[in-house]
Structure 1
Amino acid sequence: MKKNLSVVYDKNTVEFVTVAAEFCGFLERVGEIEHPEFVDKVLKLLPLLYLKASMLPEHAVRMDEFDPEVFVTEGDYERVRAGVASLMGRHDDYLEVFVEDMVYSDTPIHQTISENLADIYQALKDFVCVYRLGFDQTMNDALVICREGFAEFWGQRLVNAMRALHDVKYNTASGQEDNDGYTGNDLYGGLETDDDGSGDRWE
């Protein structure tokens, strides 16, 4: 049993708990954040979260027959989802092919960033809350459940949301116009001349 419980305090587990708690706290403060800051921050948290989840110990096994207590209520979930949806506005919706319903459809399925992030929040918040209780056996089982959920469910939600958020940050019309009034010819033209315009800088 001691060997099994060592995963609870493994370095990779502790680092995952830290990132998971930061992610949950960030989504709980979504009403205090502006849209550009939110997109930028969450695009940094999601890949870090994916990395840390992929490094969780794989040899842990369930110890109790019953699942650990859950903490996220339907109201908690909806507050996070609605907060993100309000902040994202028209950019919340996107089309996705990596969902279970695609087996019944030959076209992309409508998804929302807000629901994806709320799904991740629910899994991670329940996990973090169990860890805060400090009971080794339930911490172990919560870790196993969270790792399995990452592989089977919320890990895919994470990468789906990341793709959509990347598009919002880098491919929206507003992002394409943010070039201080310069055209592509202006930018590339600057590489062909030196500071005095003589044109022999690269010779």
Structure 2
Amino acid sequence: MSNLYNEPEYSKNVIEFLTVANEYCLFIEKSENYSKIDILQFLQKISPLLYLKGSLLPVVNVENTDTNERFVTEEQWETIFNELRKKFNKDDNYWFIDFNSPDENDPVKASLAENFADIYQDLKDFVMLYQKNIRAAKQNAVYDCKLLFKSHWGYCITNAQKAIHHLLYKDKSTYNYPELM
């Protein structure tokens, strides 16, 4: 019998992703304690790391889909969304080109708060399911998170990253502020 910890759901890439995802969730859950600039700076740094770690999640074969669960409620999502929207205020909306739309030349309006609340939901569900002491739950957590990375939150990160960069550095006078370095 093979060593259980050699299985993909226990790999170094999964554990590292779990660590970063948990850090993201803990910060977002306490976003009311932070200023807009603190949130933007955090997202500027953790988003590329989430993207990288998400892209490195292994292919996992799920043995039992009965252990799959979702944990974040609609009310929890709305609380996160509303807090972020309040923090971002007039800077919440941004435009991007959706290359998956029928007319890829038309800009699409998006919301930073919605993007990061969606990412929170997917990552919190991953963290909660992965923490269960059942191998099939861990398999489902990794499988779903990789699937959602490819279909949803990977796009959210890449679309929002340019908007975050713009908000942090659009005014050349902010270049000299240490908090924006």
Instruction: Say if 1:61 and 1:144, in contact at 8 Å, map to a contact too.
Output: yes
Deviations 1:50-83 (A, max 9, x none): 111111112x112124461110000111111111
Partner of 1:132: 131
Q: Provide the TM-score with structure 1 as the length reference.
A: 0.79
Secondary structure of 2:102's counterpart equals: helix
1:176 aligns with 2:172: yes
Give 2:29's aligned residue: 28
The separation in 1 between residues aligned to 2:67 and 2:51, in whole angstroms, is 24
- Which stretches in structure 2 are left out of the alignment for 5+ residues? 177-181
- In the TM superposition, residue 104 of structure 1 has moved relative to its aligned partner by 5.2
Alignment of structure 1 residues 74-89 onto 2, 5 Å: 74-89=74-89
Gap change, CA 1:83 and 1:7, over 3 Å in 2 = same
Q: Does 1:143 align with 2:139?
A: no
> Normalising by structure 2, what TM-score?
0.88
The alpha carbon displacement at 1:90 in A equals 0.7
- Mapped pair 1:113 → 2:112: yes
Q: Displacement of 1:154 after TM fit?
A: 1.0
Paired residues of 1:99 and 1:109 also in contact (CA < 8 A): no
Count of aligned pairs between the two proteins:
175
Structure 1 unmatched runs, 5+: 181-203
SS of the residue 1:109 aligns to: strand
Aligned partner of 2:155: which letter?
Q
* C-alpha distance in 2 between matches for 1:28 and 1:92: 18
SS state of the match for residue 110, structure 2?
Answer: strand
Q: Deviations over 1:68-121 (max 9, x none)?
A: 111000011111111111111111111111265x32574211111010111111
Between structure 1 and structure 2, the one with the greater Rg is 1
Matches within 5 A, 1:97-108: 97-98=97-98, 100=100, 102-103=101-102, 106-108=105-107
Distance 2:137 2:175 in 1: 52
Cα gap change, 1:69/1:92 in structure 2, threshold over 3 Å: closer, same or farther?
Answer: same
Assess if the C-alpha contact under 8 Å between 1:4 and 1:61 holds in 2.
Answer: no
Distance (whole Å) between structure 2 residues aligned to residue 161 and residue 34 of structure 1: 18
Change (3 A) 1:179 1:151: closer
Supply the RMSD in Å over aligned alpha carbons: 2.0
Please give the alpha-carbon distance, in whole angstroms, between the structure 1 residues aligned to 2:153 and 2:33: 25
Give the corresponding residue for 2:48: 47
